[in-house]
Amino acid sequence: MVILGIETSCDETAASVVKDGREILSHVLATSVQMHIKTGGIIPEKAAREQVKSIIPVIEEALLQASGAGGWRLEPGSSSNLQSLISSLDCIAVTYGPGLIGSLLVGVETAKTLSYLWKKPVVPVNHLTAHIYANWLTGNPTNRNLEPELPAVALVVSGGHTDLVYLKNHGQMEYIGGTRDDAAGEAFDKTARLLGLPYPGGPAIAAAASHYPLPTTHYQSFLPRPMISNNNFDFSFSGLKTAVLREVSNFQHPSSNLPLPTSAFAYEIQEAITDVLVEKSLRAVKQYKAKTFLLAGGVAANSRLREKFELRIKNNKLGIDFRVPPPELCTDNASPIAACAEFNYHPLSWQQISANPNLSIMN
């Protein structure tokens, strides 16, 4: 199928055209992150207003790129390509949740309008499930050997969610565990703020951690690894934020004239979060006898997390395939939305679709 994917759950406005759930024909993204950097976090109404401004140009550019015309302003003579691309679309896939309601509505209502105009079905897509499908965007629709083998265990780590699921087959998912409080991305974002680092915290912590001199074998950790030994597959990251606050305040005490060792803190925060994610996920992989481990979501762009999974899976000879999308497909974008719709094709008419900000990965 040829699917137009639309993603507007947070501060990205994105559209992609994807063939057979594997080949990206176009990939366009506008973000209002620069505006949120100034405020140190997302202001939902501002994010939604930016979505309204960007949605039509972004979709238009995605269609033009896929039709081979390029650019988002219609060039003379390119309209026929665009029309034939539109008529070749099998459906429109759109994120309907979870996310910020104002942002979600922009994508959902635009998809419904296009569906009405073009007489195409709409596939409502769960944003969290879609993150996993970034692993199917191999670029090669004919060689099915390249795609992940099922059953798999998947870890979705994003700004608002941390979920471990067992993917028996497409459309057959079982919940294994998840965070009881803050998500992994949220832990990066909140602790970064305590260190005075900019939003979004994940990339800022990763960058600061890279300046920390490579620790010797005697590296002394000083933050907790929450729930790492518990006999379940749940996570909890809110205590980490409190622990960082306590440690940081030692440096901010009037009697302290030591500068805050930002890169050491960043390194330790990244170690603490990634240690827990790796340990619990690999335990789930073993217990569920998965053939593949799939990493997904914005935090999956973290190179230390990717490296730890790679090393543990290789060194422990776990005999499983480890898949993680390229970093630009881990963070929010529309290509996985279209891929997810290909493998979970449940089209609806526009009247049946509405945004659901509180959707969980199991809906």
**Interacting residues with ligand KG4 (CB under 6 A):** 10, 158-160, 185, 188-189, 200-203, 206, 297-299, 301-302, 331-332
To ligand KG4, the closest distance from the beta carbon of 15 in angstroms equals 16
Output 123 or 330, the one with its CB closest to ligand KG4.
Answer: 330
Helix axes 184-194, 238-252, angle to 10 degrees: 10
Give the shortest CB-10-to-ligand KG4 separation in angstroms.
Answer: 6
Number of neighbours of residue 40 by Cβ within 10 angstroms: 13
* Among 82, 80, 30, CA closest to 54: 30
Judged by beta carbon, residue 121 or residue 327, the one nearer ligand KG4 is: 327
The option from ligand KG4, Zn ion, none interacting with 281 (CB < 5 to 8 A, set by class) reads none
CA pair distance 214, 150, nearest whole angstrom: 37
Contact yes or no for 300/325 (Cβ under 8 A):
yes
Rounded Cα distance between 18 and 265, Å, is 41
Rounded to the nearest whole angstrom, what is the least distance from the CB of residue 335 to ligand KG4 in the complex?
13
- The residue with tokens 């998840």 is 178
**Number of residues this chain uses to bind Zn ion (CB under 5 A):** 2
Binding mask 64-103 for Zn ion (x = CB under 5 A): ----------------------------------------
Choose between 129 and 138: whose C-beta lies nearer to Zn ion.
129
Output the smallest distance, CB 7 to ligand KG4, in A: 9
State yes or no: cis peptide before 198, omega within 30 of 0: no
Residue 119, classified by CB atoms within 10 Å of its CB into exposed (0-12), middle (13-18) or buried (19+), is exposed
Angle CA(144)–CA(146)–CA(147) in degrees, nearest 5?
Answer: 75
Instruction: Report the residue number, 26 or 158, with the smaller CB distance to Zn ion.
Output: 158
Phi, psi values for residue 295, rounded to 5°: -100, 140
The least distance separating ligand KG4 from the CB of residue 257, rounded to whole angstroms, comes to 31
Distance separating alpha carbons of residues 271 and 275, to the nearest angstrom: 6
126 binds Zn ion (CB under 5 A): no
The one-letter amino acid code at 271 reads E
Task: For 341, list phi and psi in degrees, rounded to 5.
Answer: -65, -35
Pick between residue 15 and residue 223 the one whose CB is nearest to Zn ion.
15
Maximal C-alpha separation, the chain? 72
Binding partner of residue 50 among Zn ion, ligand KG4, none, CB cut-off 5 to 8 Å per kind: none
Query: What is the distance between the alpha carbons of residues 321 and 310, in angstroms, rounded to a whole number?
Result: 10
Q: Give the residue with the Cβ less far from Zn ion, 189 or 332.
A: 332
- Read off the DSSP letter of residue 70: -
CB closer to ligand KG4, 3 vs 130: 130
Query: How near is the Cβ of 131 to ligand KG4 at its closest, in Å?
Result: 6
Nearer to Zn ion, 299 or 313 (CB): 299
What binding mask, one character per residue, do residues 323-362 give for Zn ion by CB under 5 A, x or -? Answer: ---------x------------------------------
How many CB atoms are located within 10 Å of the residue 122 CB?
A: 26
Q: What does 124 bind: Zn ion, ligand KG4, none (CB cut-off 5 to 8 Å by kind)?
A: none
Q: Is 51 in the site for Zn ion (CB under 5 A)?
A: no
Residue 10 CB, nearest approach to Zn ion (Å): 7
Q: Closest approach of Cβ 298 to Zn ion, in Å?
A: 6
Phi, psi of 15 (to 5 degrees): -145, 140
The residue behind tokens 């053939």 is 291
Q: How far is the CB of 239 from ligand KG4 (least distance, A)?
A: 18
Q: Is 158 in the site for Zn ion (CB under 5 A)?
A: yes
Q: Which two tokens stand for residue 233?
A: 């597959």
Nearer to ligand KG4, 69 or 183 (CB): 183
Residues that bind Zn ion (CB under 5 A): 158, 332
